[in-house]
Structure 1
C-alpha cells in the first residue's frame, strides 16, 4: 500500500522519475509498518518472553557457577527465587533445566546473550530489565562477591551498556533493597545518623543527587515508575511471572521517594 500510494503521488506530482522516488519512499514505509506490526503481534511477544525467561535463568546458573562451583546454598537460593516468582510446577522445572545449562562447562555466555539480542535487542528497555532481573537475583542473599559482579559487568557490556551505566544500575539496585517494605525506624525516630544514611540511600535508589530540585526529583521518580510498570513490560516482551521483580522494585522506588518527600515536606 505504501509503494502504491507513493508511486501515484510521485507520478501525479512530477512524472515517471518522481513516481520511482515515491515507490522507494513507500517501500521504506511498508517495511517500517511491517516491523511495527510484527513487534506488536502475539507471536512476536511470545518469542520475546520465552527468550527473556530462558536467558535469565541460564545466566543465573552461570553467575552461581562464577566462583567455580554451585554449592547447596546457591541451589537453595535459586529455589527461593523460583518460589518468589510464583512459577508453576512446569515453569519451575523449565527454569531449573535452564539454570543447570548455565552452570555447565559447555555454557557460553556470549552466545546466550547474542541469542537474546537477536530476539529482544531492538528494545532498550528489555536489555535493561534483564540486567536488572539478574542483579536482583544476585543480590537476593545480600552478598555480591567479585566473581558474580564480574559476570554481571560482562553481561552489561554484551548488552551494549557502558561501565558507568552498569555501575549506576548496580548502585541503584543495592540502595533500593533498603526499601523493600520494611519501615525505616531510624528516620521515623529522628536518629540523625540513621536519618541521613536512609536519605542517602533513597537518593541513590532514584539515581539522583541530594541537591536535585523537586521538579527533577519527581521527573526521575516518574521515569523509574514508568519503566517498571507491569503492563508496559508485558507488552514489550517481559514474561508475566518475571514482572514480579519489576513490581517489587517499583514498591522500593516508591518507598524511597516517599522518604525523600517526607524529609522535604512535599505533599
Structure 2
C-alpha cells in the first residue's frame, strides 16, 4: 500500500487541532506496526517541517513549491489530505522547535544523530535550495533543527556542504575529513559513506521509496566530493 494512502487515512482522522498532539497520535495509531510508523512519521515530519520552514524567510517561491512536489510525488486522490496537513503546520501556533523535538523522539531509535533525522534534514535542504540560494533565515532554521536533532557542528556542516558551497574545504567537509588525510583513509571513508547511504539503506530505516530523490542527491554529492579529493591527492 502506498505511503500516501496511509498518511491520507491518518490525516483524515485528525481533529482540526494544533500539531502538538500529532506525534503522540502517530505513535498510538501505528503502535503495533513499527515499520509503518517509521514511514508515516518520516513523511509527516517532512511535510510539517517543510511548511514551517516556508515561513522562515517570509516567502514561498515557485521553485520551493516545485521542489516540494519533486520530493512529494503525491497521487491526486491524496493531495487534499496532504494539503490539509501542510496548512495545519503553517497555521499551528506551536514553534517548530517543539515540533522538531517531538519528531526526534519518534523517529528511528531516538538516539542522537539518528540516521532518519539526517534524511529529514537533507530533504529540507533540498527544498530550501530550490531557488538557487539558501536564505540566511532558512539556514538558521535548518541549523536550529539540526541542533534539536542532536547533530554537532561538524555533522551539520557535513550535511550542509552537500547543498551549500562552504568554501575551499567543501569536498573534505562533505566526507567529514580533515585536510591532510591520506589517500587510503579518504577512500575508506568514501566507501563507508557510499555504503551507508545506498537507497536500500534509507528504505530499511523508514524512508518511503517515494522520497528517494533525497538518497540520489546525497550519493551524487558524496561521489562528487570524492572525485575532487581523489583527483587532488593523485596529482600531489
TM-score, normalization: structure 2?
Answer: 0.72
Within 5 Å, which residues of 2 pair with 1:84-95?
85-90=72-77, 92-95=79-82
The Cα of 1:133 is off from its aligned counterpart by 1.8
CA-CA distance at 1:42 after TM superposition: 9.2
Distance between the aligned counterparts of 1:131 and 1:252, measured in 2?
A: 15
- Given the alignment of the two structures, is residue 57 of structure 1 paired with residue 57 of structure 2, yes or no? no
- Once the two structures are TM-superposed, the CA of residue 98 in structure 1 deviates from its matched residue by 3.1
Q: 1:108 aligns with which of 95, 109, 127?
A: 95
Task: Give yes or no for the alignment of 1:159 onto 2:149.
Answer: yes
Match of 2:224 in 1: 255
Q: Does 1:46 align with 2:33?
A: no
- 1:216 to 2:206 alignment: no
Offset at 1:99?
A: 2.9
Q: Is the 8 A contact 1:172 1:207 kept in 2?
A: no
1:1-267 alignment runs, 5 A limit: 43-67=33-57, 69-71=58-60, 73=61, 75-83=62-70, 85-90=72-77, 92-122=79-109, 124-175=114-165, 200-265=169-234
Normalised TM-score (structure 1): 0.65
Larger CA Rg, structure 1 vs 2? 1
Decide whether the 8 Å contact of 1:172 with 1:206 is kept in 2. Answer: no
RMSD: 2.9
1:58-83 residue CA offsets vs partner (Å, 9 max, x unmatched) = 1111111013x344x2x542233313
Unmatched 5+ stretches in structure 2? 1-30
Greater shift in the superposed pair: 141-150 or 159-168: 159-168
Which of the pair is proportionally richer in helix? 1
**How far is the alpha carbon of 1:165 from its aligned partner?**
3.0
Cα distance in 2 for residues equivalent to 1:90 and 1:48: 22
User: How far apart, in 1, do the equivalents of 2:59 and 2:137 lie?
Assistant: 13
Q: Higher relative contact order at CA 8 Å, sep ≥6: structure 1 or structure 2?
A: 2
Q: Is the 8 A contact 2:162 2:218 kept in 1?
A: no
